[in-house]
Amino acid sequence: MAGPEEQAKPRLQILVCDGPSCGVTYESELLKELIERRVAGDETLRGRCSVVDYNCFGRCSEGPNIFVREVAPGEDPLLDPEPAQLETQRGFYAEMNEAKSERVVDEHCGRGVPVGEWVDDY
């Protein structure tokens, strides 16, 4: 059973771009599978983080891209957020690869600290 500090951590949604460029050119599905395995293998993230395909962030030349965002109370973490919701949080990561995505999941999702040198405004 999770302790009080684990229960206080926000629910997160990890959006993985699956648009035409990231999905085909950058094979973002492989990145999504890697992130899903990483989340499933960590008991502090499992059940608190949802990994979801996102149609397109519009920053195709920088792919593959992900966005880590806090899910509002009552919001379904499996549904795409409205684009305006992405502008309220700093969680966009471009040019992801296996090592970078593992660090983002560990630090941003696990510890609640965005990776400063990679995170960007959307």
Render pLDDT for 31-53 as a digit per residue (tens, 0 to 9): 999 999 999 999 999 989 999 99
Lowest mean per-residue pLDDT among 1-5, 22-26, 67-71, 114-118: 1-5
Asked whether residue 92 is assigned to any structural domain, the reply reads yes
pLDDT tens digits, 82-108? 888 899 999 999 999 999 999 999 999
Q: Report the number of distinct structural domains present in the chain.
A: 1
Asked whether residue 73 is assigned to any structural domain, the reply reads yes
CA angle, 78 then 87 then 37, to 5°: 35
- The rounded distance, in Å, linking the Cα atoms of 90 and 14 is 13
Q: What is the CATH number of the domain that holds 28?
A: 3.40.30.10
Do 91 and 67 contact (CB within 8 A), yes or no? Answer: yes
Do 11 and 48 contact (CB within 8 A), yes or no? Answer: yes
* Nearest CA-CA partner of 117 in 106, 109, 30, 103: 103
Phi-psi region of 20 (alpha: psi -120 to 50; beta: other; left: phi over 0): alpha
Contacts of 74 (CB under 8 A, 6+ apart): none
Asked whether residue 3 is assigned to any structural domain, the reply reads no
Range of the domain at 45: 8-120
Do 55 and 28 contact (CB within 8 A), yes or no? Answer: no
- In this predicted structure, the answer to whether residue 2 has a pLDDT above a threshold of 70 is no
